[in-house]
Amino acid sequence: MTRGWRGPTIAFSILVLATQIFSQSALAQSKKTSPASPLAIPTAPVNPDIDVAFGAFQRGFYITAFNEAAKRAQQNDPKAMTLLGELYAQGLGVGRNDSKAAQWYKLAAAQSDRDAMFALAMFNFEGRAGSINKAEGARLLEGAAKLGHAAAAYDLGLLYLQGQQFPQDFKHAAELFTAGAEAGNPEAQYALATMVKEGRAVTKDMSKAMQLMGQASVAGYLDAMVEYAIAQFNGEGVAKDEAAAAKLFLISSRRGSAIAQNRLARILMAGRGMPADATEAVKWHTIAKAGGAGDPELDIFAGKQTPAVREAAAAAANKWLSTVVAMRP
């Protein structure tokens, strides 16, 4: 703990970034058990009637939302069509029906509704309304990104990193991540920060990288929170602040990051950033090991503790781990 942390972090190569993020989520939004939700922050509607539908949707009055949107859809309103697609996609107020959801998304997408194009792209990548069609999904993402859809720009950037649907192009990926980041998408902010940190297709700038990482961290993007905390602790690209880093590690640990749990255990072992606490240190070390983040130095530290400390730490760790297991779907 007397030196900065240089061990395994999440500052992996940009190709690994693309592969891991893409494979884990099948694009940004599809990692949810429900489909993409392009209407979480809806585009401002052009008429007062659609406000009623979106207002009902946001308050959870899904039948009202469906009825109001259906009225507007009859008048060829693409926003209402997208909302109907979302209601069918998630089974809100109506039975879940991917085929009907896709039909409404297609009608809205034909009128260049970017939210519908994004949702339909997710359907194509997942094969939710037929066979998987990555080429069509990529085409729809490209259209939505051109219309300013932040998540679409991020996902499209991942495709250019992978070089599958499109020729690999790091520079264009960075441009797409920039567009997404400027629109406030935390995944894009994190991806761009990683590229800037490594100097991949952009000018290497640790300060700018950490500024972007900090934005993604504030938005609650877990990987960014952990990496920003590491930078804060070491004073790399951002003012050194061990206490602030410790708080961020604690939050990230509670959200399940094994890397954060390991760093928190080290902080509690050494008393840097927060008071030393052997029981808590061993507890978080045990939890981190269960998550795959082993640490020989902490193994030695734990072995030197009294039986009372080890028993208390084991009980606390087991309680935490059992609670996590019980909360899994």
pLDDT tens sequence across 185-240: 999 999 999 999 999 999 999 999 999 999 999 999 999 999 999 999 999 999 99
Range 259-283 average pLDDT:
98
- 199 backbone φψ class: left, alpha, beta (φ>0; ψ -120 to 50): left
CB 54 within 8 A of CB 83: yes
Residues 6+ apart with CB under 8 A from 273: 233, 242, 243, 244, 245, 246, 247, 249, 267
- pTM assigned to the model: 0.81
CA distances to 7, 156, 176 from 161, in Å? 25, 9, 11
Would you state the pLDDT for residue 326? 82
Would you state the pLDDT for residue 129? 81
177/185 Cα distance (integer angstroms)? 9
Range 105-113 average pLDDT:
97
Model confidence at 270: pLDDT above 80: yes
11 or 134, greater pLDDT: 134
Residues of each domain in the chain carrying CATH 1.25.40.10: 14-188
Comparing CA positions, the residue from 107, 103, 137, 114 lying closest to residue 30 is 137
CATH class of the domain whose range is 14-188: mainly alpha
Model confidence at 280: pLDDT above 90: yes
3-state helix, strand and coil shares in percent for the chain, rounded to the nearest 5? 65, 0, 35
Please identify which residue in the block is written with the tokens 């009128």. 111
